[in-house]
Amino acid sequence: MAGATGECQGRQSGEDRMEVVKITPRGYCHGVVEAIRIAKREGAAANGEPVTMLGYLVHNEHVTTELSENGVTLVADEDRHEGLSRIDRGTVIITAHGAAPAVLEAARKKGLRVVDATCSDVTRTHALVSRLADSGYEIVYIGKRGHPEPAGAIGQAPDHTHLVETLEDVEGLDLPKGRPLAVTCQTTLSMWDTEKIIQRLKERFPSIEVHNEICRATQERQEGAVAAARRVDCVVVVGSPRSSNSQRLVQVVENLTGKRAYLVDTAAELDPSWFNGARTVGVTSGASTPTHITRSVIEALEQL
């Protein structure tokens, strides 16, 4: 699946094979590694009891398949409460994106054993939102509508947390008067887009307290991709269309460098015509992309 249409520019027909530049850092972040470790541990220890992910543990179908082979099944409902209604017994795993306290409480009331695989960076944001709300703040949360991470974070203090995704959303904010304000965000957003929204919030609400929670893994992958993109003809991002951080890698490469970027889930999705004229192509991958999938894409590109 391409992030942009058209071809790379550079190499002329008949020249040597293009160089494949392996962008670093790429691939699994610490939160994904830990979530997969937890899920596999629970699958191995199940002793016949069902083990269920409440949503995609991480946003990658290859990981979901691997976990299924290790005894961990998926309930894919985007609404976590609806998903819980289809789990009657056993262990339920909270995904790396986290969940609202009301979801965890509902799971325990059903008698389910709850195992929390929330990324530690997301857990820190949950604690921040709770602490700010308890201190009397109204919180603006920058995030993607429909993504489970914002749902879990906002669920920490739903009456005092306001979701914005765009600059237009900032203009439409009508916040209660007389309460201190703070802004925080989803961990996997574009660094540059988030900064624009924060700056506009500071213009509208000069006293707003800023807590930028974009995680280090996201920042390092975006910075690495943008820096490499300036030296190559185009970029391939290996990752799932479901993955916010993979989509953001495509976005920042295209928006900040003007180079073409393509999102592929497997090597089979590569289109050789994308690379007509390319001397160099950079390859990176999202934080939930298995190493062997990225390696297969690199090998396929090296044969073009």
Across 230-258, average pLDDT: 97
| CATH value at residue 249 | 3.40.1010.20
* Domain range enclosing 244: 19-28+218-302
d(CA 26, CA 221): 6
Q: Is residue 167 part of a domain?
A: yes
Q: Which two tokens stand for residue 272?
A: 């050789």
The answer on 199 and 146 residing in a single domain is yes
Neighbours of 38 (CB within 10 A): 19
* Residue pLDDT, tens place only, 136-170: 999 999 999 999 999 999 999 999 999 999 999 99
Q: Is residue 88 part of a domain?
A: yes
Q: From the CA atom positions of the chain, what is the Rg in Å? A: 21
Catalytic residue among 7, 15, 105, 149: 149
Neighbours of 66 (CB within 10 A): 15
Instruction: State the total domains in the chain.
Output: 3
The answer on 55 and 96 residing in a single domain is yes
Task: Look at the block and give the residue holding tokens 């008698």.
Answer: 111
d(CA 40, CA 51): 10
On whether the CB atoms of residues 53 and 77 are closer than 8 A, the answer is no
Confirm whether 165 is a catalytic residue: no
Whether omega before 25 lies within 30 degrees of 0, making that bond cis, reads yes
Q: What is the pTM of this model?
A: 0.91
* Residue pLDDT, tens place only, 68-112: 999 999 999 999 999 999 999 999 999 999 999 999 999 999 999
The predicted structure's pLDDT at residue 12: 47
d(CA 201, CA 118): 28
Q: Express as a percent the part of the chain with pLDDT over 70.
A: 95
Q: Which two tokens stand for residue 256?
A: 């900040």
Q: Which of 163, 180, 210 is the last residue of a domain?
A: 210
Q: Is residue 292 part of a domain?
A: yes
The answer on 138 and 76 residing in a single domain is no
